[in-house]
Amino acid sequence: MVRTERSKVMVNGIWKNLPLHLQGNRVTVNAQGDALVLQTDFKLSIFYLRSGAIQVIVPSQYSNRICGMCGNFNHETEDDFKIPDGYLVQDTHVLGQSMCGEPTLLSVCTDAEEQKYASEVYCGILTSRQGLFSTCSSVLNADSFFRSCMFDMCTTHGDPAALCNAIEAFSATCDKVGISVLAWRNTTFCPVACGPHSHYNSCTSGCPKTCSSQDATGSCGICEERCECDDGFMLSGGACVLAEDCGCWANGQHYLIRETFMEGECEQQCQCLGNGKIQCSPTSCKTDEVCMVKDGVLGCFPSSPVTCSAYGDPHYITFDGKAYSFWGTCNYTIAKTCGATDTQFTITARNEGQNNSATSSLNSVALDMEGLHIVIGKNKQVYANGGQVRLPAKFGSSVSVFQSGPYAQVNTNFGLRLLFGNARLFVQVDERYRGVLCGLCGTYSGSQFDDFLTPEGNTVANPHEFARSWKTNDSDWTCSNGSPDPPECHPDLEDDAYTKCSELFEDAFKECHWFVPPQIYVSSCVSDYCISKGDKAQLCTSLEDYVSACEIAEVFLPDWRNHTLCFADPLPTEDPTPTPSAASCPWSCDFDQDECDWEQLIQDSFDWTRWSGSTPSNFTGPAGDHTTGSGYYMYIEGDSVFYGDSARIMSPVCHTTGKQCLSFWFHMYGMANAMLLNLYIFENNRASKIWSRTNNQGNSWYQGQVEIKPQHPFQIIIEGIRGSNPRSDVSIDDVSIMHGACDHLSAEDLDLTTLAPHPSTPNLNDPHPNCSMNCDFESDICSWTQMVTDVFDWTRHKGSTPTSMTGPSSDHTTGSGFYMYIEGDSAVHGDTARLLSAECADPQPQCLQVWYHMYGSSWTMGLSVYLLQYGNVAKEVWRMREDQGNMWHLARVDLRPDVKFQVIFEGRRGSSARSDVAVDDVSLHRGACIDLPNNVAPPSVPLTKPVPIQRREIPNALDSCGISCDFDRDICAWTQLATDVFDWTRHRGSTPTSMSGPSSDHTTGSGFYMYIEGDSAVHGDTARLLSAECADPQPQCLQFWYHMYGSSWTMGLSVYLLQYGNVAKEVWRMREDQGNMWHLARVDLRPDVKFQVIFEGRRGSSARSDVAIDDVSLHRGACSEITFSDTYGNSDSIRENNMMKSNEEVAKKESWKARDDKITARQRRSLLFRERSRA
């Protein structure tokens, strides 16, 4: 049950409409008045009010058999405050924290506020002897409700909604025990919002009219407060509808009239015809779809496969991204089905030893399924059921084997793909196998925590123990399980390995970094380089391992060798220029007569179409061809396929080599996102991308030119990809190839008479020619206006926002000007404020640019951009949620208006007052954002004016307190809390989990740090480090470096000040991914007595939750009063923890200079490796 959802609940991950009957009516859920009510046949009832209040009723047989925030139900209130470890506490905040792991904020009220809120106008109404609730409060003890009301009012600073919630909770409790309360609501005080075709009645009796008995809410009492249907309407699924619009029930779930839904394993599609009538018809998912639950809905969705890799000596990356190495030489189970699936299979691989080495590599791979045993050898020879087969080969309708570049590839129609060649193995499966696999590739459960699952069902920590458990019985293969420890590597050789393997961080590979993070491959490269004693051939093989993984991800790096040590022989400086002929390159084409022997690739989901005139879909595609305006061209029709489908055509073989210019004309007009046009050169059985364009380019033909230098016969592949909607018609025309560089072509060669020039790039600092959206808010809010219907407004402001630990400390433009922001302290959770632009009468592609600032610990705070057209149709085109760090960020948003339009900025207040979202320097530019230069932004300035750097001696870290530590030798005087479910780990180098955690420590790049391993815990688990006690109760500055990199939601780090032995107050926190880099934090501590510090790391929603800390130090005095020699910047920016890029660069240079005389060459190279890995 979700507080914001009153008409549906989620059951086992699937949204179900209310009312709901489950397990043969053993469990029912429905809406009653302002509450969601869950009831069971064993007399458990849960009432969840819109206010957030929860009431739980349990039968007497559960007395002294329950625990939690509601106590133990033993009829003794003295022991209700027991925490999970059995201890009895007195502090309710300690009790709450022990139950949820999230610290709560203490309410703070002044004496005047307490007196105000305790009066009968506010919370005092609950306990007043002459008030509306006097009849009930004389029977029920209202003190606890009064205290809760006071707490909420103090916390929210008198929010009227908090008062209404408190009164509503007490009124509902009175009603449960049979005491009627006089009507206390009215149209101005705590009004109830009812749904369409219904109205509020403070005293209604009897059962409401329903479409069926299953629609009954169970609310049939006398004088009940609820919303009731208007005359002529009745309840259907919790909503008021006309009799002819009654819905249907199926398997305890309610469906609206005309609503469709899937049944079973998506083998039936059903539709509610109304009044309980349901019509179903057989169906099935397409070959590229899987039946699964997505966003709470069961249906057929496009497959999104995951890959397991084995390569090198050998190294493994599981389906869930866990990387490890193992040197056994036996036959091992790579992956097999270990649960219920339609098709059972097993993949095994034999490893063979390397000459004069303790390592191994893949020798052969086998696929076993019912009636079929396929073996692929390292020479790509394929055997089926014992006999050699020639490729390509098919086995029934489900399995085919063919050669694909350097691999022998196995494709199936049941969601499995296998590629093996050059001692590299890639296994891909789709979502239907989630949670039902096991073997060396892990479990594909979405978590790395259980990847090391043995055949006996045990989860182990050691890779050698795990891999050895999956050894198969193979009497024909002599083997050993290898050493559990990697071979030692001399420090000098290891330094050299890091230097050379760090090539993977360089520009030659950067196009793939987003798709395949290089850190894992750098680590495996270092290992293989050490084992091979620095062999160059092995180094190139390791780099090629990464390139191969990129190609599996469909990212091609054709020239990587030319920029690395693996470059063999330089190409001649002068390209040979044989005279081209039609026989050697026969495929220049204007498509007017035919397709000139260009071929459609049959494995695509749809084809290119040869066409003349306008395309069938409106608002997309050209009106005619490029050549004459009345001829033919090739295009992809977006109306006939699905998002992401691709169509490819391939040219005939061209035998000319050397420098050549490929020329073509393209047309990309439409409102779809992610429509694409890609060009590839296919040479030596490898396809490399040479040109790409994405999204709407305007309703014109444009010329594209690519200079290529093939050394062998080649072909060109043109690929069109359908975008997010049918307005995705991509077209090409007049394809030709000429010898020589593109810029040497003559006017005659280019046929410039039909050239449609590219749109000129505007000066982005100039105002828009037709629209008045540009604003830096320095003088006023320009032509922007506040929406009068909002519950609160945006605020024009300069300097820091009033609420601490949220919002910017200055504007973006100058550092001393104005910006717009929403004050989280002036609203409640979920409230929104909107800024509306002036109308723009320029309906063509536009780029909206804005700088935004989202800093604060509040959950669900956010910023959205809407495109408003036709007066009242608003479409969300961009959004950002949660804390994004204490800095300004640039956003560019493509707008595709059909008519005149406006823009809306919507700021959303999150779960707490730390929700200050800000915008500045808004501008609108004609054209697509992708075509804009990168230097369009107003120069980013420091958040405060530069001041001369005043140096003074930094107070020594308080070593007497034992808090300062770099963790290089041990964890100093810090200790682990024994009550935690897992601990912090002292570690060096990269963390085991891919795409999370640092690659090295902060101090030297080769030392140790502390981190929490997300793979060893579950969502919400916390690990705490406790400092030694410090007997210096005066202002202190705690300084530390932290690293929070990973895709896990809710991972976090908190700092607590512990005093009086057991009173911990949160003084700093950070949540979510902060990027793959170390960040500096400084926290002011204000102890009253001797104290300790707690670092609490929180595991997020997935294993990619590795949070790390390093270089902790404590300094006497306030942080703002100390000038730290290792960081430039004024005290304000330090206090706000806003490390601007310019300051980071200065600090980096200073840090290098300071260390220069103290570190070894090895450490210097390690630092270089760390800096590259951050990039």
DSSP 346-396: EEEEEEEEPTTSS-EEEEEEEEEETTEEEEEETT--EEETTEEEPSSEEET
The span from the CA of 470 to the CA of 440, in Å, is: 7
Q: Which residue has the tokens 């730390």?
A: 914
Tokens of 421: 């060649």
pLDDT-above-70 percentage for the chain: 86
The pLDDT confidence band at residue 547, using thresholds 50, 70 and 90, is very high
Is pLDDT at 761 greater than 60 in this prediction? no
Using one digit for the tens of pLDDT, what is the confidence trace for 867-885?
998 777 788 899 888 888 8
Q: Are residues 789 and 895 in the same domain?
A: yes
Q: Are residues 927 and 1021 in the same domain?
A: no
Inside any domain, residue 1020: yes
Strands 889-895 and 818-822: unpaired
Using one digit for the tens of pLDDT, what is the confidence trace for 685-694?
778 889 999 8
Q: Are residues 675 and 739 in the same domain?
A: yes
Backbone dihedral angles phi then psi of residue 1100, each to the nearest 5 degrees: -85, -155
Is pLDDT at 749 greater than 80 in this prediction? no
pLDDT-above-90 percentage for the chain: 32
Inside any domain, residue 992: yes
Q: What pLDDT does residue 1151 have?
A: 38
Q: Is residue 625 a contact partner of residue 633, using CB atoms and an 8 Å limit?
A: yes
Q: Kindly report each contact of residues 113-116 with a partner whose C-beta sits within 8 Å and lies 24 or more positions away, as own/partner.
A: 113/153, 113/154, 113/157, 113/158, 114/150, 114/154, 116/158
Tokens of 1032: 């210096």
Q: In the beta sheet, which residues pair with residue 201?
A: 226
Which H or E element spans position 831? none
DSSP 6: S
More confident residue, 744 or 408: 408
Inside any domain, residue 29: no
Q: Are residues 464 and 506 in the same domain?
A: no
| Single pTM value for the model | 0.41
Beta strands in 194-238 (DSSP E): 198-204, 224-229, 234-236
Is pLDDT at 995 greater than 90 in this prediction? no
Q: Are residues 442 and 496 in the same domain?
A: no
The pLDDT confidence band at residue 759, using thresholds 50, 70 and 90, is very low
Tokens of 1130: 């004024």
Q: What pLDDT does residue 1129 have?
A: 33
Q: What pLDDT does residue 573 have?
A: 36
The span from the CA of 529 to the CA of 536, in Å, is: 8
Q: Coil, helix or strand for 1039?
A: strand
Burial letters for 987-1004: b for 16+ Cβ neighbours within 10 Å, e otherwise? bebbbbbbbbbbbbbbbb
Q: What share of the chain is helix, strand, coil (3-state, %, to 5)?
A: 15, 30, 50
The pLDDT confidence band at residue 743, using thresholds 50, 70 and 90, is low
Q: Coil, helix or strand for 558?
A: coil
Q: Is residue 654 a contact partner of residue 739, using CB atoms and an 8 Å limit?
A: no
Inside any domain, residue 592: no
Mean pLDDT of the chain: 81
- Name which of 16-25, 413-422, 1154-1163 the model is least confident about: 1154-1163
Q: What pLDDT does residue 369 have?
A: 92
DSSP 651: P
Q: What pLDDT does residue 998 have?
A: 92
CA-wise closest residue to 107 among 125, 129, 123 = 123
DSSP 822: E
Cα 1139 from chain centre: 24
Inside any domain, residue 224: no
CA quadruple 794, 799, 803, 804: dihedral, nearest 10: 150
Q: Are residues 447 and 528 in the same domain?
A: no
Of 163, 181, 199, the residue that ends a domain is 181
Q: Are residues 460 and 500 in the same domain?
A: no
Q: What pLDDT does residue 3 have?
A: 64
Mean pLDDT, range 1124-1152, rounded to an integer: 37
The pLDDT confidence band at residue 798, using thresholds 50, 70 and 90, is very high
Amino acid at 368: D
Evaluated on CA atoms 592, 593, 599, 600, the torsion sign reads positive
Is pLDDT at 24 greater than 90 in this prediction? no
Beta strands in 870-1004 (DSSP E): 873-881, 889-895, 901-908, 917-926, 975-976, 985-988
Q: What pLDDT does residue 1170 have?
A: 41
Is pLDDT at 1133 greater than 80 in this prediction? no
The span from the CA of 614 to the CA of 632, in Å, is: 10
Cα atoms in the Cβ-side hemisphere of radius 13 Å centred on 442: 28
Inside any domain, residue 126: yes
Inside any domain, residue 329: yes
Determine the structural domain holding residue 1126 and report its residue range: 959-1174
Q: Which residue has the tokens 């309610």?
A: 254
Using one digit for the tens of pLDDT, what is the confidence trace for 430-462?
888 989 999 999 999 988 888 999 999 998 989
Q: Are residues 496 and 370 in the same domain?
A: no
Mean pLDDT, range 815-830, rounded to an integer: 86
Q: What pLDDT does residue 752 have?
A: 28
Q: Are residues 1011 and 914 in the same domain?
A: no
Here the CATH number for the domain that contains residue 652 is 2.60.120.200
The structural domain count of the chain equals: 6
Mean pLDDT, range 259-278, rounded to an integer: 91
The span from the CA of 1153 to the CA of 832, in Å, is: 49
The pLDDT confidence band at residue 963, using thresholds 50, 70 and 90, is very high
More confident residue, 517 or 739: 517
Whether the bond into 392 is cis, omega within 30 of 0: yes
Of 885, 916, 931, the residue that ends a domain is 931
Total number of residues shown for the chain: 1175
Q: Are residues 418 and 518 in the same domain?
A: no
More confident residue, 1018 or 315: 315
Of 685, 714, 743, the residue that ends a domain is 743
Mean pLDDT, range 462-489, rounded to an integer: 87
Beta strands in 651-784 (DSSP E): 660-668, 676-683, 686-694, 702-708, 714-721, 730-739
Q: Which residue has the tokens 């895709």?
A: 1047
**Rg of the chain taking only CA atoms, in angstroms:** 34
The span from the CA of 827 to the CA of 830, in Å, is: 8
Q: What pLDDT does residue 804 have?
A: 80
DSSP for 731-768, written as a single string: EEEEEEEEES-GGG--HHHHTGGG--PPPPPP-TTSPP
Inside any domain, residue 75: no
Q: What pLDDT does residue 344 have?
A: 94
Q: Are residues 1004 and 1148 in the same domain?
A: yes
Q: Are residues 859 and 990 in the same domain?
A: no
Is pLDDT at 1154 greater than 60 in this prediction? no
Mean pLDDT, range 239-260, rounded to an integer: 92
Q: In the beta sheet, which residues pair with residue 422?
A: none
The distance in angstroms from the start CA to the end CA of the chain is 42
